[in-house]
A and B are shown apart, each in its own frame.
Chain A
Amino acid sequence: EPEVTQTPSHQVTQMGQEVILRCVPISNHLYFYWYRQILGQKVEFLVSFYNNEISEKSEIFDDQFSVERPDGSNFTLKIRSTKLEDSAMYFCASSYRETEAFFGQGTRLTVV
């Protein structure tokens, strides 16, 4: 069964460093999302992406964040200068329709 794939599964980075989280959505999907979950808290929406542009973003998604779909298969989330509070589980999701979302296994980001 097709699935959303995220790499790496765990990333440790120094505060102030740039990180890129990578996702390969399901191949025929059109809508792409990033969510995050700080440990012990609820899952929060970051950004949605459709037709090669951001369709919606949350207040969390400030200028430190960016997304890209550099080719036909990858979808990346970049954090330019990481802060301690960026430590969280980051989930990529994709869908064919605007009425569902299938999640990857997540990337655990630890900022030290």
Chain B
Amino acid sequence: AQTVTQSQPEMSVQEAETVTLSCTYDTSESDYYLFWYKQPPSRQMILVIRQEAYKQQNATENRFSVNFQKAAKSFSLKISDSQLGDAAMYFCASMEYGNKLVFGAGTILRVKS
């Protein structure tokens, strides 16, 4: 069974600084996908970034990038040049091919001005 663990319940970052959110996962499949979702106070789930496990290259979306360590089953999210609008709950999730998303417990990110 898939499991996703986010060990940081809460993180803080100064505006314009860089922050890294941690995530580890477990799966028995070789074909799977990893995601970071952002949930602002409105509680909408917004896809931030997606990584295919078969790709060695780390995914990047503007200020968001991941550090995907397949052997260690680690998938961290780096937010560069943090902005006030980045403040939200961030969920790490995994999906085995053709299967459901399994979410971690989430990390609250606070951005200080």
Bound together, the chains give a CA A42 to CA B91 distance in angstroms of 8
B19: CB under 8 A from chain A?
Answer: no
B33: CB under 8 A from chain A?
Answer: yes
Contact A106 B44 (CB under 8 A): yes
Contact A105 B44 (CB under 8 A): yes
Known: A99-B52, A100-B50. A91 touches B101 (CB 8 A): no
A18: CB under 8 A from chain B?
Answer: no
Interface string of B86-113 (1 = CB under 8 A from A): 0000010101011111111110000000
Contact A42 B104 (CB under 8 A): yes
Chain A residue contacts of B44, Cβ below 8 A: 103-106
Contact A43 B91 (CB under 8 A): yes
Give residues of chain A (13-37) contacting chain B, Cβ–Cβ below 8 Å: 33, 35, 37
Contact B99 A101 (CB under 8 A): no
Contact B95 A99 (CB under 8 A): yes
Contact A42 B43 (CB under 8 A): no
Q: Which residues of B contact A (CB under 8 A)?
A: 33, 35, 37, 42-47, 50, 52, 91, 93, 95, 97-106
Q: Which residues of A contact B (CB under 8 A)?
A: 33, 35, 37, 41-45, 48, 56, 58, 89, 91, 93, 98-106, 108
What are 29 pairs between A and B in contact, CB < 8 Å?
Answer: A37-B43, A42-B105, A42-B106, A43-B45, A43-B91, A43-B93, A43-B101, A43-B103, A45-B100, A45-B101, A48-B100, A56-B99, A91-B45, A93-B101, A98-B97, A98-B99, A100-B33, A100-B35, A100-B50, A100-B95, A101-B47, A103-B44, A103-B45, A103-B46, A104-B44, A105-B43, A105-B44, A106-B44, A106-B45
